[in-house]
Amino acid sequence: MRVPRSLEVWKMGTVNYLDALKLQEKLVSDRKTSKIADTVLSLQHPPTYTLGKRRTDHNLLIPESELKKIGAELCYTQRGGDITFHGPHQAILYPIISLRDIGIGARNYVEKLELTMIELAALYGVRAFAGQKGETGVWVGERKIGAIGVRISYGITSHGLAFNIDPDLSYFKHIVPCGIADKEVTSLRKETDSVLPTEEVIQGQLISCFARLFGYSNLIWKEKGSILSDNGEN
């Protein structure tokens, strides 16, 4: 009795963090009034540190004034989770979907986001697993390969997941990632011997895993590289 469900996929390239945040706010509002269907943004960010609603800036280990020197920005958000880093070669998905339409809550949603990354890692022979209680995210052994931070407003999701394909891991040295000390951060490149295809292919696989786990049978792909200069389109 399942109605075939559609997902619109926006392939966006590299997007400034704050621009992506403003776009998500607009899309959440549009999704709430059913102006748009379930949508997922697939993108990467330039080097950016972000904090969640709890503002755990004690987990940033260098002064904010030093960030510019290393070519990074700091952004405050309303998402859940602790401090994290986003940068080139890290695949990001921001699903803007209605959880009420599919009858699931935060916990189930986050579990599915974890499974999305676990299944992607499995495609390259990497055995990843969801974190223990209080350590939401995706791990390979004691090393974190995928992070999650989500906001749910009127049952509509924003923010989402970040999967390390091959980012510059030295950026993580300037924070206590996700507030969990003594745990390393890793990437797909470090964990697999497989030859990796292009990042576009890997991001496409990530979206396919997501779509399958959430039961979307119809994907509508949109190239939205220039969306932020293109206000009329929606």
Partner 1 sequence: MTMRDFRFFHSAAKLQKRLFREREREREREIMACSRLMWATRAASYLRISVPFTLRVRGFSSVLKDLKYADSHEWVKVDGISATIGITDHAKDHLGDVVYVELPEVGASISQGSSFGAVESVKATSDVYSPVSGKVIEVNEELNSSPGLINASPYENGWIIKVEMSDKDETNKLMGSDQYSKFCEEEDAKH
Binding positions: 79-86, 147-149, 160-162
Is residue 177 within 8 A of residue 83, CB to CB? The reply is: yes
Q: Which of 20, 115, 178, 188 is catalytic?
A: 178
Query: Has 178 been annotated as catalytic?
Result: yes
Nearer to partner 1, 65 or 198 (CB): 198
Does residue 101 interact with partner 1 by CB under 8 A? yes
Q: Which of 47, 146, 149, 167 binds partner 1 (CB under 8 A)?
A: 149
Residue from the set 31, 45, 86, 151 that interacts with partner 1 by CB under 8 A: 151
38 neighbors 31 (Cβ within 8 angstroms): yes
Q: Of the candidates 80, 78, 82, 60, which has an alpha carbon nearest to the alpha carbon of residue 70? A: 60
Residue 122 binds partner 1, judged by CB under 8 A: yes
Cβ proximity to partner 1: between 2 and 69 the closer is: 2
* Gap between the Cα atoms of 76 and 21, Å rounded: 10
- Regarding 146 and contact with partner 1 (CB under 8 A), the answer is no
Query: Does 127 contact partner 1 by CB under 8 A?
Result: yes
List binders of partner 1 among 7-46 (CB under 8 A): none
The answer to whether 133 contacts partner 1 (rule: CB under 8 A) is yes
> Which residues neighbour 135 within 8 Å (Cβ) at sequence distance 6 or greater?
178, 180
Decide: 177 and 144 in contact? Cβ < 8 Å: yes
Rounded-to-integer distance, Cα 232 and Cα 234, Å: 7
